[in-house]
Structures are given as C-alpha cells and as structure tokens.
Amino acid sequence: MSKPKITIVGSINMDLITVTDQVANAGETVAGTDFETLFGGKGANQAVAAARLGADVSIIGKVGDDAFGSEMIKNFEENDVDISGIAVEEKTPSGIANIIVSDNDNRIIIVAGANGKVDKIHVDQYTSVIKNSDMVLLQFEIPMDTIRHTLDICKKENVPVIINPAPVAELEREYLSAATYITPNEHERAQLFKMREDGLPEYYEQLITTQGFQGASYFKDGREIMIPPKSVDVVDTTGAGDTFNAAFAVGISEGMTVEDAIYLANDAAGLAVRKLGAQSGMPMREEL
Ligand code: RIB
C-alpha cells in the first residue's frame, strides 16, 4: 500500500513548559518543579504525528526569523515532514505557547507570532500540494480567513478535509459543511454549536468528538457511539488531541472505517501522553 499523502495547513510553535504542583493565583509567586522548551503548535504536532505513523506529510505554515524558527524547521526535517511549504517571516517572532502542566492537566496561552501571518497568498503558492493530498488537516491557530480560503480550495479540488476546531472559534455553516470530518473535543463542540440555527444533528455524519479519558465518539444512525481508550499512564496530555487527529486522518486515508480509525487514533493518543511535551511521546507506527 502506498503512503497516504497528508497536508497540514497550520501553526508551528515552540512550547515553553512549566511543570508545577501548584498554579499561581493573581499576585502570587509559587515554585515550579520542571521547565522544558519543546516543539509544539497544533499544526506542527499533527504533521509530526502523521509522519511517525507512516504518512507522506507536508506542512504549509510560517516560522519567525529567530532561533526557535530554525530549530522548528530542523525538527520537521528530522521527522520526515516536507518543509517546502514553510516560509520564514522576517522581523517576526516564531509562535510560542506558554504551557503550565499541573495535576494531569494543562493551561495554555499562545502568542501567534508568524502563525498570524499565514495568509491566503501563502497558501495559494501550494495549491498543487493541496490538490495532490489524500487528506488536508486544519486547526484554528492561523487566521480564520486563511482557514476559509483553504476550505474553498479543498472543495474546488475535491480534496477530503478535517477541521479540528481548536482553539474554538466561529465558522459559518457553508464552511463547516464543506468538511469531511469535524473533530472538536466535548467543550469545543458545545461552543461551536451553541445558539446556532444549524443544530448538531446536521453534522452527525461529520462529527468525531474527543472526550479526554472517556475516549472518542461518532454518530451511527443518529446514535452517539463512544469508543473507549485503553488505560494509559498520563504524564502530560498536551498534544493528545493532535495525535488523535493525525492518526484518524492516516487511518481514514488508508481506507479504514471511521470506527477502526478511531481505535487507531485512541491508541496513538494514549501512547503520546506518556511523556512530557506534545511531540515527545508520539508513537511510530510499529509501536501501535
Ligand atoms: O495542542 C497542543 C498544542 O497547543 C501545543 O503544542 C501548543 O503549542 C498549542 O498550540
């Protein structure tokens, strides 16, 4: 079987991770237990995870002209991700995420930097890459106009596309309905469909919902079916959703059923959380 060709249009961040037993309140200083600078960004994480699972992966995005930018490009090369769709944005810092890991959970503040400059003109240069993909993956850490534009290209070129609406933002019905799959977590799903005229049932066929330690669900004949994960030892859940999305995309592109692709994605995400950092624990295909 030939490798599925997956293209990610998305964010690239350096994650500045602080581990602490106690999270500081306003005006308070507390001591943390560990600090690491590790590769992240939802787009980058999904690209690395898909490549480790055996896909032929390209990423379309931007980094800044700083040390983080060149390190992040090197990381893609080391993980066999095609970097021809990455531009270095001058006089701009790379995207970063400030992450606090505490009590099996995380809090994240992102600063877009170069990710905020991933515009339609940049994406247009890689239309042929998108056109030749088995699947395109989108998240919401680049400008929403660029997301809409990429969805238009996918629709025109008939390329399957997954919208991972994270962090959640509004998207009009015409764009949501253009997605092959929409993959929010349970909180994003509630926000995405809050007070909309087009209700949840309109999207049953497309919706895959990740639900943390419960696993992930999909709809079959109007009923929501939950697929539980195997039990896992959790060190850091950062990047679990990204690993899930990448593995789901790989599974579907290989011709798996939705149910089998969710099993694959649950397994991959379960392995990813064993190590600190979004990408550190992402498995190779042989590990699954
Ligand atoms: O999904 C996890 C990612 O979200 C982190 O790597 C961080 O960079 C933020 O973008």
CATH number at residue 36: 3.40.1190.20
Helix or strand or coil: residue 137? strand
The pLDDT confidence band at residue 199, using thresholds 50, 70 and 90, is confident
pLDDT value for 144: 98
Is 230 a residue whose pLDDT tops 90? no
Q: DSSP letter string over 30-94?
A: ---SEEEEEEE-HHHHHHHHHHHTT-EEEEEEEEESSHHHHHHHHHHHHTTEEEEEEEEETT-PP
Tokens encoding 33 = 């237990």
Phi, psi of 173 (to 5 degrees): -50, -45
127 domain-assigned: yes
Greatest Cα pair distance, the chain, in angstroms, is 57
Residues with a catalytic annotation lie at 242
pLDDT value for 265: 98
288 domain-assigned: no
| DSSP code, position 274 | T
The pLDDT confidence band at residue 195, using thresholds 50, 70 and 90, is confident
Is 204 a residue whose pLDDT tops 80? yes
Q: How far apart are CA 77 and CA 73, in angstroms?
A: 6
pLDDT in tens, 32-83: 999 999 999 999 999 999 999 999 999 999 999 999 999 999 999 999 999 9
286 domain-assigned: no
287 domain-assigned: no
As a whole number, mean pLDDT of residues 256-272 equals: 97
215 domain-assigned: yes
With the most atoms of ligand 1 within 8 angstroms of its CB, the residue from 18, 68, 94, 99 to mutate is 99
184 domain-assigned: yes
Within 8 A by CB and 6+ apart from 106, the residues are 99, 100, 236, 237, 238
259 domain-assigned: yes
pLDDT in tens, 100-118: 999 878 899 999 999 999 9
Produce one character per residue of 23-62: b if its CB has 16 or more CB atoms within 10 Å, e if not: eeeeeeeeebeeeeebbbbbbbbbbbbbbbbbbbbbbbbb
pLDDT value for 266: 97
As a whole number, mean pLDDT of residues 163-179 equals: 96
Handedness of CA 202, 200, 141, 268 (dihedral sign): negative
The pLDDT confidence band at residue 233, using thresholds 50, 70 and 90, is confident
Tokens encoding 24 = 């500081």
As a whole number, mean pLDDT of residues 140-160 equals: 98
117 domain-assigned: yes
* Cis status of the peptide bond prior to 167, with omega within 30 of 0: yes
What is the number of domains present in the chain?
A: 1
Edge-to-edge order in the sheet of strand 5-9: 81-89, 56-64, 5-9, 135-139, 161-164, 181-182
Which residues, judged by CB distance below 6 Å to any ligand atom, belong to the binding site of ligand 1? 11, 13, 15, 40-42, 45, 97, 108, 110, 141, 238-239, 241-242, 278
| pTM given for the model | 0.96
pLDDT value for 104: 79
Q: Which atom of ligand 1 is nearest to the CA of 14?
A: 8
- What is the domain extent for residue 80? 5-24+32-281
pLDDT value for 271: 95
Percentages helix, strand, coil for the chain, rounded to the nearest 5?
Answer: 35, 25, 35
Produce one character per residue of 179-191: b if its CB has 16 or more CB atoms within 10 Å, e if not: bbbbbbbeebbee
pLDDT value for 85: 98
* Secondary structure of 195-227 in HEC code, one letter for each residue: CCCCCHHHHCCCEEEECHHHCEEEEECCEEEEE
**Residue 197 CA to ligand 1 centre (angstroms):** 31
pLDDT value for 196: 85
Residues in the chain: 288
